[in-house]
C-alpha cells in the first residue's frame, strides 16, 4: 500500500518537473509570436500589448527578434575533411540550412544569391574548396550586406579522438571574443558577422534552453582562431552554480578547430566593391609556386656553378708542370 502511494507521488513530481523549466512560449498569432509583456524586455521596448493592432506602431516599438537563418553549403569536389568540417558547423548551428553543392564557377555568386533568396536565408557560409587542398570560406550577409572571404587553415574536425568533449545539440553557445576585435573597423565588421551567424537565435524552435558550450573567437597573428569547449561545472539546481563552482569549472574541447585568414571584404553579397584587402595575404598557390621555384633553383645553381668554374679555369690556366715529363721514359 505504502509503495503504491509513493509511486503515485513520484509520478506527480515527474509531471510537474517539465513545466518547471520549459520555457514558456508566447502565444502564436497570424503575424508571428505575440510578444508577452515580459519584465526583462520592458527595458528596451515598450510593451507591445496595444501594438498588435497598429502595425506601424508595432514596427517602431517591436522588441528585437533574431530571425537569422544561415545557409551552409559547399562547392563541388570538396575534400572529405573540409566536408566534415562543414557538417560539424551545421551541427553546431541549429538555425542553419543545408543545401546541395554548388559549382564553384565565376557565376557562383549569382547562383548563391538566388539560392539564399529561395531559402529565405539572411546569411550564408559557403565553403569553397579549390584544387582539393585549399579551403576558402565565404561569410555573407544576404540581401545587401557585406561578404568576407577567408582562407581556412589548421582544420581539425569534431571526429578527432583527441577532442573528448560533447555537448547538447542545439544548445545556445556563449561566445567570447578577444578585445583586439574592436581595434580596427574590418575586425569590428567581422565580429558583428560572426556574432550574428554563430549565435543561435534566442527562442529558436530547435534550440535547447541550456548553455553548455562556449565558442572562442580570438585574433592571433591577424588570423581568427575558432575553438569550441564544453562547460562542465558542478551544480544541483538549474539556475545556480554550486558555491565555489565557478572556480571548479573546467572546459573540455569539443571541436572543430579552424583558423580564418581574411582575404577580402566586399560591399555586396558575393561581390560588390572591395572594402578591404588583406595586405599580408599570399595565396597558397603563390606559396607553392615559390617553394617549387626554390627547389628548381637548386639545379640551376649547380649548372651556374659549373659554368663559373669553367670560366675561372679558362681565365687563369695552370702553368705547364715541370715534372710532367719526368716519368714518361720509364714505360
The residues in 242-271 that bind other proteins, with binding defined as CB under 8 A, are: 246, 249, 251, 254, 261, 265, 267
Out of 96, 127, 171, 262, the residue judged to bind other proteins by CB under 8 A: 171
275, 113 in Cβ contact below 8 A?
no
Q: How many CB atoms lie within 10 A of CB 52?
A: 13
With binding defined as CB under 8 A, does residue 57 bind other proteins? no
148, 265 in Cβ contact below 8 A?
yes
Contacts by 159-165, CB closer than 8 A, 24 or more apart: 159/84, 159/255, 160/255, 163/253, 163/254, 163/255, 163/257, 164/252, 164/253, 165/213, 165/229, 165/230, 165/251, 165/252, 165/253, 165/254, 165/255
CA distance readout (Å), 317 to 37, 281, 309: 102, 52, 12
Q: Which is nearer to other proteins, 144 or 320 (CB)?
A: 144
Out of 238, 311, 314, 318, the residue judged to bind other proteins by CB under 8 A: 238
DSSP strand pairing (70-74 vs 123-130): parallel
Out of 116, 124, 125, 216, the residue judged to bind other proteins by CB under 8 A: 216
Out of 220, 292, 308, 313, the residue judged to bind other proteins by CB under 8 A: 220
Q: Which is nearer to other proteins, 105 or 188 (CB)?
A: 188
256: preceding bond cis by omega (within 30 degrees): yes
With binding defined as CB under 8 A, does residue 32 bind other proteins? no
Question: Phi, psi at residue 148, to the nearest 5°?
Answer: -120, 135
Q: Which is nearer to other proteins, 205 or 328 (CB)?
A: 205
With binding defined as CB under 8 A, does residue 212 bind other proteins? yes
Min dist. Cβ of residue 34 to other proteins (A): 18
d(CA 210, CA 197): 19
With binding defined as CB under 8 A, does residue 303 bind other proteins? no
Q: Which is nearer to other proteins, 103 or 296 (CB)?
A: 296
Contact map string, positions 192 to 211, toward other proteins, x by CB under 8 A: xx-xx--x-xx-----xxxx
Contact map string, positions 75 to 114, toward other proteins, x by CB under 8 A: ----------------xx----------------------
**Of 2-10, 27-35, 170-178, 308-316, which part binds other proteins (CB under 8 A)?**
170-178
Min dist. Cβ of residue 225 to other proteins (A): 7
Min dist. Cβ of residue 323 to other proteins (A): 38
Within 144-163, which residues bind other proteins (CB under 8 A)?
A: 144-146, 153, 158-159, 161
Min dist. Cβ of residue 304 to other proteins (A): 7
Beta-carbon contacts of residue 323 (< 8 Å; ≥ 6 apart): none
**Cell numbers given for 254:** 569539443
The angle formed by the CA atoms of residues 86, 111 and 94, to the nearest 5 degrees, is: 35
3-state secondary structure of 170: coil
Q: Which is nearer to other proteins, 105 or 206 (CB)?
A: 206
Amino acid at each position: 500500500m505504502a509503495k503504491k502511494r509513493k509511486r503515485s507521488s513520484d509520478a506527480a513530481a515527474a509531471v510537474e518537473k517539465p513545466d518547471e523549466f520549459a520555457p514558456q512560449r508566447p502565444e502564436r498569432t497570424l503575424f508571428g509570436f505575440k510578444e508577452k509583456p515580459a519584465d526583462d524586455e520592458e527595458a528596451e521596448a515598450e510593451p507591445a500589448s496595444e501594438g498588435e493592432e497598429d502595425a506601424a506602431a508595432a514596427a517602431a516599438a517591436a522588441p528585437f527578434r533574431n530571425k537569422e537563418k544561415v545557409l551552409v553549403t559547399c562547392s563541388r569536389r570538396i575534400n572529405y575533411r573540409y566536408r566534415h568540417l562543414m557538417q560539424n558547423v551545421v551541427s553546431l548551428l541549429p538555425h542553419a540550412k543545408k543545401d546541395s553543392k554548388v559549382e564553384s564557377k565565376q557565376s557562383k555568386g549569382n547562383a548563391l544569391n538566388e539560392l539564399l533568396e529561395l531559402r529565405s536565408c539572411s546569411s550564408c557560409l559557403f565553403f569553397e574548396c579549390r584544387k582539393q587542398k585549399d579551403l576558402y570560406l565565404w561569410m555573407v550577409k544576404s540581401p545587401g550586406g557585406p561578404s568576407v572571404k577567408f582562407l581556412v587553415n589548421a582544420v581539425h574536425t569534431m571526429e578527432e579522438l583527441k577532442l573528448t568533449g560533447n555537448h547538447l545539440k542545439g544548445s545556445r553557445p556563449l561566445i567570447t571574443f578577444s578585445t583586439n576585435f574592436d581595434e580596427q573597423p574590418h575586425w569590428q565588421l567581422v565580429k558583428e558577422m560572426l556574432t550574428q551567424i554563430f549565435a543561435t537565435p534566442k527562442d529558436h524552435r530547435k534550440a535547447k534552453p541550456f548553455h553548455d558550450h562556449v565558442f572562442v573567437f580570438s585574433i592571433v597573428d591577424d588570423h581568427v582562431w575558432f575553438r569550441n569547449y564544453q562547460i562542465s561545472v558542478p551544480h544541483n539546481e538549474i539556475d545556480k552554480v554550486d558555491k565555489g563552482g565557478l572556480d571548479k569549472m573546467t572546459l573540455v574541447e569539443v571541436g572543430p578547430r579552424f583558423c580564418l585568414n581574411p582575404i577580402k571584404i566586399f560591399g555586396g553579397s558575393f561581390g560588390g566593391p572591395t572594402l578591404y584587402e588583406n595586405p599580408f595575404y599570399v595565396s597558397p598557390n603563390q606559396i607553392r609556386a615559390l617553394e617549387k621555384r626554390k627547389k628548381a633553383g637548386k639545379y640551376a645553381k649547380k649548372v651556374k656553378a659549373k659554368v663559373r668554374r669553367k670560366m675561372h679555369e679558362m681565365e687563369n690556366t695552370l702553368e705547364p708542370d715541370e715534372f710532367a715529363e719526368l716519368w714518361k721514359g720509364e714505360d
